[in-house]
Amino acid sequence: MQIDDLVILGRAAPQHLKNGRTTICLGGFSYEYGFIRIYPTKPQMGVKRWDVISVEVEKNDADTRDESWKIVGSRDNWDYLEDSVSKRGEVKSQQARREIVDNNLSSCVNELNSQHISLGFIKPKQIFEMYFGDNPQYGKPVQLPLFSTHAKQWAAVKRDYAKEPRLRYECENCLTKQGFHDQVVLEWGFYEWMRKNPNNIEQVWENAQFLSENHEIYLLVGNQQNHRTSYMVISTISLRKLDKPTTKSMF
């Protein structure tokens, strides 16, 4: 399938594949096809959030989720995979960005789960806590191919971090019994800040505009391939608040 209008919404922290490749999950939105997940992709793809790209994709036999695709020839052409992506433009205006988000909002993560949708936008009604939990992957041995040419290409993968950023929040129409969700944030930018600033990891929340009174926070959430009912935050999206209309006096 050829996608010519894929808007990049976020990229998750790198992970190692069993064959030694370091890969990133890319989440995006196509006006024609809806939400799209592309996996695997290289860290060095030369794309960023809100870029619009053209890419040829195919289904992955190992991932049956409707939103999941892989780049055609991703295994055989891995070293030059970035050549398979063509940048067509960028969604620059706040209005256009807001339209993508607001027109595709879900009211609760549980709604996505009940409809077997693996990607979606959520707007937190209330964020109870922004914190760092212990990374369950940290310190666990990983078996990589002994002679893999890919194994040492990218050192900082998610399992290299002792802590992981997490959000505890309530949806606009939260359907959970406990009244909130507690999810790990996988956005790559969070982990890059933590890697470069290990003594100031708390600033990731300020960087993402979570502390700003002038921005609204939206979440791109997605489930796990092997745990379809478990959702994570792939990307945090901040949009400037709309100006309140002024009422002019008739007199």
Beta-bridged to residue 86, according to DSSP, are: 54
Residue 205's SS3 state is helix
Tell me if the pTM is above 0.85.
yes
Structural domain boundaries in the chain: 2-240
- Angle CA(119)–CA(82)–CA(17) in degrees, nearest 5? 60
Tokens read off for 142? 């990983």
Tokens read off for 43? 């860290």
Q: What is the C-alpha separation between 81 and 1, in angstroms, rounded?
A: 17
Q: What is the C-alpha separation between 164 and 184, in angstroms, rounded?
A: 7
> Cis omega (within 30 of 0) on the bond before 40?
yes
CA dist 162 → 33, 132, 207, 214, 233 (Å): 37, 10, 20, 32, 18
Tens-binned pLDDT, residue by residue, of the chain (251 aa): 999 999 999 999 999 887 778 999 999 999 999 999 999 999 988 999 999 999 999 998 889 999 999 999 888 899 999 999 999 999 999 999 999 999 999 999 999 999 999 999 999 999 999 999 999 989 777 665 544 554 445 568 999 999 999 999 999 888 888 889 999 999 999 999 999 999 999 999 999 999 999 999 999 999 988 888 999 999 999 999 987 544 444 33
Place of tokens 């990229």: 11
